[in-house]
Amino acid sequence: MIPGPFSYHRPATLADAVKLLASLGDEARPLAGGHSLVPMMKLRLATPEHLVDLHGIAGLKGIRREGNRIVIGAMTTQHELLASDEIAKSLPILHEAAVLIADPQVRYRGTIGGNVANGDPGNDMPALMLTLGASYALEGASGARVVAASEFYQGAYFTALEPGEILTAVSIPLPAAGHGYAYEKLKRKVGDYATAAAAVVLTMSGGKVASCAIGLTNLHETPLLAADAAKAVIGTSLDAATLKKAAAAAEAIMSPAADARGPVEYRKHVGGIMVTRALTRAAGRTS
Ligand code: FAD
């Protein structure tokens, strides 16, 4: 299939992009890497009349440290995340997850901003952002604001973005020194979205879990934080009974779609296994 007709705009500044989106109205969409939007257009599931390409805006790229946070420009590609020494050192879970996204061709074009703004429950970055306590910088005709990732996702493809608003950056607090991390993703084949995936960031003290956050991908219409599962492991040494309890608590909040990746019960079951594996691997990485 080929997309329907559209006009193409390439503003050079964020202010121009915001102005353009406001003046073009509901039928205009920002274009980032195009690796979610263009396939939807080819299937005629999205038919924007105007695409506002963000590639001309230099200020939307880059990875920088700001105090105790890492700030990533929205147009930074998944490939650039993988190539970044700062990400490998400070946010290794992002590196671990990014390499599991699709294939090199997609990662060369796909951006972190597009991945988190899209609202696709299958995208991997949103659950990581919940797990890491990230926030998103947004800019629109009525000004700039910051929204916590935990407040951003409202339904499948439905987010806190107002019409015409651009997500400009993702800001992530540095996890504690010596933290353990893991992203476990079950997929049918290389290049597929997750059948189920779990992100874990935790710290240990004296052999017991001191803090823990668990995020879930593609197990609900939005990414999820499994707060009860995380609570269940605090103060434990992650023995077999605790892991079972945590998996059950996580499964209790999952409501995945039944699709080609399997029926609901199967996806919940493997979701629980992803939680168990991620907890175990994260604990083994603490120092
Ligand atoms: P685009 O496709 O350009 O945009 C996506 C949507 O977000 C559009 O509605 C657009 O208007 C909006 N948008 C984009 N940027 C902004 C912004 N800065 N502000 C406001 N709105 C914005 N992803 C995964 O996470 N895991 C996978 O396993 C995976 N597998 C894939 C396999 C294939 C074969 C393909 C083609 C894609 C796959 N993807 C996967 C999706 C890929 O990571 C996309 O690149 C990503 O989801 C969207 O990023 P993008 O930069 O391409 O955004």
Q: Mean pLDDT score of the chain, rounded to an integer?
A: 97
Instruction: Return the pLDDT at 191.
Output: 86
Pocket perturbation via mutation, ligand 1, pick of 118, 153, 158, 192 by most ligand atoms within 8 A of CB: 118
Does 188 share its domain with 279? Answer: yes
Q: Is residue 236 part of a domain?
A: yes
Does 155 share its domain with 115? Answer: yes
Pocket perturbation via mutation, ligand 1, pick of 57, 106, 168 by most ligand atoms within 8 A of CB: 106
- Please state the domain count of the chain: 3
For residue 78, the ligand 1 atom closest to its alpha carbon is: 43
Convert the pLDDT of each residue in 90-104 to its tens digit. Answer: 999 999 999 999 999
Convert the pLDDT of each residue in 137-165 to its tens digit. Answer: 999 999 999 999 999 999 999 999 999 99
Does 203 share its domain with 220? Answer: yes
Does 153 share its domain with 128? Answer: yes
| Any ligand 1 atom below 6 A from CB of 104 | no
Q: Is residue 209 part of a domain?
A: yes
Q: Is residue 42 part of a domain?
A: yes
Does 222 share its domain with 278? Answer: yes
Does 118 share its domain with 166? Answer: yes
Q: Is residue 1 part of a domain?
A: no
| Any ligand 1 atom below 6 A from CB of 276 | no
Convert the pLDDT of each residue in 59-99 to its tens digit. Answer: 999 999 999 999 999 999 999 999 999 999 999 999 999 99
Does 64 share its domain with 122? Answer: yes
Does 91 share its domain with 45? Answer: no
Does 192 share its domain with 254? Answer: yes
34 CA to centre of ligand 1 in angstroms: 6
93 CA to centre of ligand 1 in angstroms: 19
Q: CA–CA separation, 198 vs 216, rounded Å?
A: 5
| Any ligand 1 atom below 6 A from CB of 98 | no
Does 35 share its domain with 132? Answer: no
Q: CA–CA separation, 214 vs 224, rounded Å?
A: 8
How, if at all, do strands 143-148 and 180-186 pair?
A: unpaired
Does 196 share its domain with 264? Answer: yes
The CATH number of the domain holding residue 232 is 3.30.390.50
Provide the domain limits for residue 122: 60-173
Indicate whether 1 pLDDT > 90: no
Q: pTM of the predicted model, to two decimals?
A: 0.97
Q: CA–CA separation, 67 vs 174, rounded Å?
A: 9
- Give the mean model confidence (pLDDT) for residues 162-186: 97
Q: Is residue 15 part of a domain?
A: yes
Q: CA–CA separation, 229 vs 226, rounded Å?
A: 5
DSSP H or E run through 63: strand 63-66
The CATH number of the domain holding residue 20 is 3.30.43.10
Q: What is the ipTM of this complex?
A: 0.99
> Which residues, other chains included, contact 94 with Cβ-Cβ below 8 Å and sequence gap of 6+?
81, 87, 125, 128, 172
Does 41 share its domain with 87? Answer: no
Q: How confident is the model at residue 255 (pLDDT cuts 50, 70, 90)?
A: very high
Q: Is residue 267 part of a domain?
A: yes
End residue of a domain, out of 141, 173, 205: 173
Q: Is residue 230 part of a domain?
A: yes
- Give the mean model confidence (pLDDT) for residues 227-241: 98
